[in-house]
Structure 1
Amino acid sequence: MPALPEISFVIPVYNKADVLPYVIRALAAQQPAPDAEYIFVDDASSDMSVAVLEREAAATLPMVTVLRNTSNAGPSVRLNQGAAQARGRLLCLIDADELILPDAVALMQQALRQHDADLVHGKVIRSALPAAQIVPTPRGAMPDCKTGDRPLQMILQGRGFVRMTWLVETALFRASGGCDERIFIQDESLPLRLATKARRLVDFRGGMTMAPQAASHLSADKRQQHHDRFFAYYNLLADQPGLPSQERQMIAATCASIAWKAVRRSGLPLAQFAALSAYLQGKAGLAVSADFLKRAATAFRALPDIRRTAPSIQLPHSASAPPP
């Protein structure tokens, strides 16, 4: 029976046939080559993504699994689907349109050991070039980083956690419940959920992946972004009633801020005066009422043309709770 890999790369894919060859090439160029398996989860792509994966990934990388799906469920569901099959002690989570630097995995592993952490986040370097013109080069040295024993507070106070370059202990991912499948896009919710269970977070200041010029991203839809951001925080309040009061207040204030932006920019059906008042209360450090948050949640649920999904993949030891 083959030995278990140290790392499981889990990469959700939707219509990335044009960039996948370069993503695969960057994974194969890791120095030194990691003891890893590679799980690509296709979300019912309508282009040639699956063909590229089955042809190029299988020929270039060891221990490749391509999971095919016939329905489009969104990255939250697909990440969980891949993580449920992962055999590694660590999960490396990256987007299917990002080219990982040649020494990124080695540096992230080193940071886990050096700081006795269970969660590492690397930034993304945005490029105006297409993937074919990008040649990722090694960082060569450990980037500056911030380390903390209160990961959730780091996430709440920080910025730049929404792009996926994560190295996380598989046990931590599963203890957190993985991605919140009530939310289509995992960008905002995954860091929050991981942080509630993490012992120590290392946040790299330097980029670990390169994002090429792209035609579109799911998160470019502002209405979808506002909806998913709000429920990332709102669901966290419902799922984690034991959070410290300071962090609950910060989360509620973030909900109010998102609601106010959505009223102005996304046509959220919520009274402007109430939304502005709640936003200003949160900004001033005052408590935002639970009644307002419930009314905001009802308004977000009423938004038309929002991609929504129902939970379908259950991780072992899932911490997910039913919608509030």
Structure 2
Amino acid sequence: MTGPLLSIISAVYNKAEVLPETLRLARAQRGIAEEDIEFVFVDDNSADGSLALLEEEAGRDPRVRIFASQDNNGPAIAFNRAASQARGRYLLAIDADDMLPGNAAKFLIDSARRFDAALVFGRSRRGEDCRDVPEDATLSVESDPLAFVAERKIVRMGFLAERQLWLKAGGADETVFIQDQSLPLRLAAAADRLVFVDALVYHLRQTGDGNLSRNVLQQHHDRFFALLPFLDRPDASPTARRAVMRQMVSSLWKMDRDRGVQLPFLSAAGRCYLLNRLLGLEPSGRLLADVAARLKTLPGIRRPGGI
């Protein structure tokens, strides 16, 4: 049996308040036949009624498919599980509290087909003015996807990927709790080209108290470990490697800053940052290994499979 054209996939944790609107906008995608789209949600052991809400929606709409986790393993693992259960040729990954314009899915699929690309990104911003993607939006084809994603610091969902590309890339890095950094990087590294839409295709809601974006130390920690494997990839271009390193040293001094270190630019991480920005110098492998060892013992950081 042939699967649908598109699977909109999401990881859910305590999003009952906004899930109805997220699902309404996902269902409202125009230009794709009802039988050509499905909605795959993995509930990551929510405690606020999210799972019950999704099960009620699935009872009314067989295109809504729900998978429940017994533990809170984190969004990286949950997104990968959603992708493994998806049946569409294309996967459109969205966070459960974000929004898609009504023509976004079709626009992204049309862009992928036009340029024979397995990966399509567009612009995003916070705000609920979820207007259609302009039909005359400028498209560009990038031949070094990893460099593009690293240089643009793409750390969000709202992109289209062929399911086969997701499988080839291995999805999100499951050794890192949050998927936002590792998933775009890993997909880009596995892609021959990507299309970039120079227009808003994805809208993020304002962060709430329970949003992982509020935990800046978690963000810096996960960014470092998501980026680290790309320094030694033999297929990474020099441009991509430089962009990865710039992000890494930036995350290190920002972590010192946000931990309350006095004069963070004068710390070891701060000096690495300045030398990298001013002279292009890179920290030694030994220093990066020492930093990684310290970060692994940092308190208050969530890691896959629990706290």
Structure 2 partner of 1:230: 224
> What's the C-alpha RMSD, in Å, of the aligned pairs?
2.2
The answer on 1:168 being equivalent to 2:169 is no
Distance 1:251 1:162 in 2: 13
1:301 aligned partner: 296
CA distance in 1, matches of 2:305, 2:68: 19
Check 1:199–1:241 CA distance in 2 against 1; reply closer, same or farther (3 A cut).
closer
Over 3 Å counting, the alpha-carbon distance change for 1:118 and 1:142 in structure 2 is: farther
Of the candidates 286, 301, 306, which is equivalent to residue 291 of structure 1? 286
For 1:322, the equivalent position in structure 2 comes to none
- Aligned match for 1:196, one of 189, 206, 210: 189
Q: Could you state the TM-score of these two structures normalised by the residue count of structure 2? A: 0.90
What's the offset of the Cα at 1:140? 4.7
> Cα gap change, 1:267/1:212 in structure 2, threshold over 3 Å: closer, same or farther?
closer
Q: Residues 140 and 246 (structure 1 numbering): CA distance in 2 closer, same or farther, change over 3 Å?
A: closer
Shift of 1:202: 1.5
Q: Deviations over 1:248-267 (max 9, x none)?
A: 34323322221111122226
Distance 2:138 2:59 in 1: 35
Residue 5 of structure 1: aligned partner: 4
Query: Is the 1:6–1:90 contact (alpha carbons within 8 Å) kept by the matching residues of 2?
Result: yes
Matched, 1:56 2:53: no
Return the letter of the residue paired with 2:282.
A
Cα distance in structure 1, aligned partners of 2:95 and 2:74 = 13
> 2:44: which partner in 1?
43
Q: Which amino acid in the other structure matches residue 222 of structure 1?
A: V
Structure 1, residues 246-294: CA drift from partner, whole Å, max 9, x if none?
A: 43343233222211111222268x9954222321232122233111111
Q: Does the C-alpha gap of structure 1 residues 26 and 195 become closer, same or farther in structure 2, counting only changes over 3 Å?
A: same
The alignment status of 1:103 with 2:92, answered yes or no, reads no
Per the TM alignment, residue 189 of structure 1 is displaced from its structure 2 partner at its CA by 1.1
Unpaired segments ≥5 residues, structure 2:
none
Q: 1:87-236 to 2 correspondence within 5 Å?
A: 87-127=87-127, 136-159=130-153, 161-216=154-209, 217-236=211-230
Residue 17 of structure 1 aligns to which amino acid in structure 2?
A
Structure-2 change in CA distance of 1:81 and 1:38 (3 Å): same
Distance 1:206 1:55, change over 3 A: same
Q: 1:154 to 1:98 in 2, by over 3 A?
A: same
Pairs aligned (count):
300
Question: Aligned partners of 1:76 and 1:114: how far apart in 2?
Answer: 30
Tell me the distance in 2 between the aligned counterparts of 1:292 and 1:64. Answer: 48
The aligned runs of 1:244-323 (5 Å cut-off) are: 244-266=237-259, 273-283=267-277, 284-309=279-304
Correspondence for 1:315? none
The separation in 2 between residues aligned to 1:164 and 1:91, in whole angstroms, is 11
Indicate if the aligned counterparts of 1:121 and 1:202 stay in contact, CA closer than 8 A: yes
Identity %: 38
Assess if the C-alpha contact under 8 Å between 2:37 and 2:88 holds in 1.
yes
Residues 151, 240 of structure 2: 8 Å contact kept: no
Given that residues 281 and 287 in structure 1 are in contact (C-alpha distance below 8 angstroms), is that contact kept between their aligned partners in structure 2?
Answer: yes
Q: Cα gap change, 1:120/1:301 in structure 2, threshold over 3 Å: closer, same or farther?
A: same
| Normalised TM-score (structure 1) | 0.86
Query: Contact 2:181–2:223 at 8 Å: present in 1 too?
Result: yes
Task: Give the Cα–Cα distance (whole angstroms) in 2 for the partners of residues 26 and 189 of structure 1.
Answer: 26
Equivalent AA in structure 1 for residue 75 of structure 2: P
Structure 1: which 5+ residue stretches go unaligned?
A: 312-324
Aligned partner of residue 194 in structure 1, secondary structure? helix
Q: Which amino acid aligns with 1:106?
A: K
Contact 1:24 1:56 in 2 (8 A): no
